[in-house]
Amino acid sequence: DAKTTQPTSMDCAEGRAANLPCNHSTISGNEYVYWYRQIHSQGPQYIIHGLKNNETNEMASLIITEDRKSSTLILPHATLRDTAVYYCIVTYLSGSARQLTFGSGTQLTVLP
Amino acid sequence: ETGVTQSPTHLIKTRGQQVTLRCSSQSGHNTVSWYQQALGQGPQFIFQYYREEENGRGNFPPRFSGLQFPNYSSELNVNALELDDSALYLCASSRKPGGSTNEKLFFGSGTQLSVL
């Protein structure tokens, strides 16, 4: 299973872009990169996912390097409500179930 | 569209007891996964249920068991509780089990279990 490495914590000023990096150097060709976030006392929330092309949705953009060994989640205009733990995940198959293997994530703090 | 709901929100048990946690999946979802999240750590996969059968399991002992009902709701049962079982237990639902890497999970807010 591919493992991910993320910084433990990051700060970002409100209104600025937040760029969260993730390394996944052992990712295999058919594994997707997923990003979830968890606001305190809530369950994780899906943000975005991708295979090899860059992706954008209403919440964020995902930039995956050409060799797929790393990616960056971009929150274009961070708000205080974006303060959360952000998890970069590469999918893992357990039996016939696709589980998410969470690491420790990055604690993003958006500062006023 | 109804989201994933879990009950109870908080629970206190003593070591050796048994506990049952409940989860109602999001409307239209037929697959339920359970995760355990210890304090300060990321969630860890326990198992997944599809068509009322377990179809994938993480590194958890047999005293962690589950059920899925015809309406796709699910229960997580833990026997012989240990102090280390104290954690947030999260339920997640999805439309499909493991067949598609495009499938995303929708999580409930969890049940906080404290074992004394």
Digit-coded pLDDT (tens) for A58-82: 999 999 999 999 999 999 999 999 9
Sheet holding B74-78, edge to edge: B5-7, B19-24, B74-78, B64-68
pLDDT-above-90 percentage for chain A: 72
Q: Residue B100 above 80 pLDDT?
A: no
Cβ separation of B33 and A101 shorter than 8 Å? no
pLDDT single digits (tens) B25-36: 998 888 999 999
Cβ neighbours of B57 in A, within 8 Å: 94-95, 97
Cβ separation of A97 and B47 shorter than 8 Å? yes
Cβ neighbours of B58 in A, within 8 Å: 94, 99
Residue A98, helix vs strand vs coil: strand
Cβ separation of A30 and B97 shorter than 8 Å? no
Q: Residue A95 above 70 pLDDT?
A: no
Q: Find where tokens 């150097």 sit.
A: A25
Q: Which pLDDT value is given to residue A6?
A: 95
Question: Which residue, A65, A34, A70, is CA-closest to A49?
Answer: A34
pLDDT-above-90 percentage for chain B: 77
Compute the average pLDDT of residues B91-107: 76
Q: Strand pairing partners for B47?
A: B34, B57
Question: Closest partner residue to B98 among A34, A49, A96, by Cβ?
Answer: A96
Q: Which pLDDT value is given to residue A22?
A: 96
Q: Which pLDDT value is given to residue B55?
A: 87
Cβ separation of B41 and A91 shorter than 8 Å? no
Q: What is the mean pLDDT of chain B?
A: 91
Distance in angstroms (rounded) separating the CA atoms of residues B104 and A45: 10
Work out the pLDDT band at B44, boundaries 50, 70, 90.
Answer: very high
How far away is chain B from the Cα of A14, in angstroms, using its nearest Cα?
A: 25
Task: Say if CB B34 and CB B19 are below 8 A apart.
Answer: no
Distance in angstroms (rounded) separating the CA atoms of residues A105 and A5: 8
How far away is chain B from the Cα of A97, in angstroms, using its nearest Cα?
A: 4
Cβ neighbours of A34 in B, within 8 Å: 104
Q: Residue B78 above 90 pLDDT?
A: yes
Distance in angstroms (rounded) separating the CA atoms of residues A57 and A37: 15
Count the neighbouring beta carbons within 10 Å of the beta carbon of residue B73: 17
Q: Which pLDDT value is given to residue A16?
A: 97
Work out the pLDDT band at B47, boundaries 50, 70, 90.
Answer: very high
Question: Closest partner residue to B41 among A31, A95, A104, by Cβ?
Answer: A104
Q: Which pLDDT value is given to residue A100?
A: 83
pLDDT single digits (tens) A30-47: 788 999 999 988 999 999
Compute the average pLDDT of residues B86-113: 84
